[in-house]
Structure 1
Amino acid sequence: MTVEPRFARTEDGVSIGYQILGQGPPLVWMPSLSNITAQWRIPALRAAYTGLARKVTLILYDGRGTGISDRRIDLGDLGVDAHLRDLRAVLDHVGVQRPSLLGYYHSVATAIAFAAREPERVRRLVLFGGSPQLREAMLPAQTQALLSLVEQDWDLFADAAATAWLGWDSAASGRWTAEAFRTATSPAAAKAWFEAAGHIDVTGELSRVRAPALVLHRQGEQRIPVEVFQRLTAGLPDGRLVELPGATPTLFIEDPAADIALVTGFVTSGRVGQPEPGTGRMGRSAPRTGLTAREGEVLRLLATGDSNAEIGRELGITVHTVERHLSAIYRKIGARSRSDAIRISVIARDGSPGRFPAAGTG
């Protein structure tokens, strides 16, 4: 499939390359370091683009200094206001009045800022992989190790970002993803992007977001902890967190059909169902317990009599993480002890889910 690039010009004179495809309610997939033409060569991304475009009008663009957009930019001007100028230029050029925004990694903060400052222009938000305080999303040790390669070895950075970090482990996807990173920008521009990101903080704007927001989390334990996304969701007036099964820190790879169904269902109708792994279908909304998907897994194993260590081995997480989940579970279901949690779990399983209090009230 070939999608011709188009170009918009920002108010400060930067040319922004974008693509548009599909039909239905508009969804803007906002960029991090990107190269939209190179990304079409990645089989999984190509399938994601075409899958989304069956339900929505998908708009892709490269931010300033990256991909097919103008690379002759002021590297000292890469804060959130500059990224907002890029987004506005694309929306104005397309003529979209009120799209939904998919904020992805670096662009989560930009999506939040735009929705807060221009609420009449945003229908819904889907947020994945980033934080209103971007420094927080860059703290994991694996991310820091990766960022150290930007100046030292650009080719190695691209390879590591594609495989070790984002989990594109198949030969074709890994190779083309590394190429997309490698050609997305220059090492100097990437360094400036990441340095500027470390100073972006739109936490104070969360309360002004009026659009319904779907916050998605699928991260390995060594990457961004779920607590970051729990705080993000709590700070949004109309936010909903869904923890996706799996550990690959990307969308549309581990269970692409379910991810596409979840995102398009929310964009087209506001519906949020829990993904049914491997089916591409949405199940019922999260139970009244207020437990996340991972907390539900921990509680299920707890009720079978597994120790914390056994739960950790089964779910591939540390004992410390199990203990953290148990603390949250006890608070949410009103349990005072391990045996109390098991008793309440058994009661709920036998047909009385209403006995669980809502999240945050126990």
Structure 2
Amino acid sequence: MKIKDIRASVHTTSIEVPLLEGRVAGYGRAEQKEFVFCEVETDEGLTGVAVTGHFLARSVVAALEHHFLPVVADLDPREVEAVHQRVWQKLNPRTMTGVVSSALSLLDIALWDIAGKHEGRPVASLLGGARTQLPVYVTFGFPQYDRDQLAEAARLQVAAGFTALKMVVGVDGGGWREDARRIRAVREAVGGDVDLMIDANYLFTPTEAKYLARAVEDCDLTWFEEPLHQNDARALADLREHTSIPLAAGQMEGHRWRLRELVERRAVDILQPNPCYCGGFTEARKAAHLAQIYNLPVAHGGGWPLFSMHTLAGMMNGWILEWHLGMGQVGLQLFPGSPVPEAGKISLSGRPGLGLDVDRGALRDTLVR
């Protein structure tokens, strides 16, 4: 079996967010407007699919179609190490990230989908098959909410069956003090038996992050995700020594060496490799094995749960899956009938590959180019 073609396209959509009137353009924050859909075809007619996010989306499409395809055409899609070796040698010998990592992620995910379909096994099973069901947390706390809406939205998600919630910090005009008030409002709204995570998306200075962590130490947070500019491993390690709140990071890192730095610097308590950004399942598996050696759990951040669920289900140290309200909705638009959370858990379908059926009408309706 050989790789025959790679097709990629840019899409956009809108989502419904509880308590906000009308539909929200994109799938989360203001910049999350576009995503990339990719399909890899083999000479035997098997195809694999993948999705990644908004970062330089048009450049990712160009990279796949004009640079990656000539390099990997005619390789066996099941021999993922050979594919990665060729890509590193020909396209990325200096270990850059960004566009090349996103493009490699799409290619690799699609190849695992093909391999699973060929073998008649789910990708999670090919990765190790540690479990078939995962705990789930919902990323519900969008910055568009005011404080009262945020508390009410949290109650709605608990009523819907979620026992773990994540909210965004670092973007409110009131600074870290308002973030602290918003965190307390959510904790008071849902009580002490619900896990609560906060995510700064790299937006704090080390000093600001320390101020916020100190202010909410008593809120029993499950983790503080990506608190610092540039995911600075040195500064994260320092922050970790100054707070009892566990730190999580890694979802946007583009390869195993950046993820290794987080682990070896003792910068995180939870590692978050996301196959949609780090180079696919092949790279995410290596990061998970690295974390396993250091007795660290692997959790999901960065969205696109219909893909990351296979990493967590496959690996021994896989833990909890993010159900991002925006990216969850996008996934169900493109792949109707996919697994959804129930009572705070999600079960894999057990179908071959990723187990996803593409809605071609949805692809056409969301197409940008």
TM-score (norm 1): 0.28
**Structure with larger Rg:** 1
Higher helix share: 1
Higher relative contact order (CA 8 A, sep 6+): 2
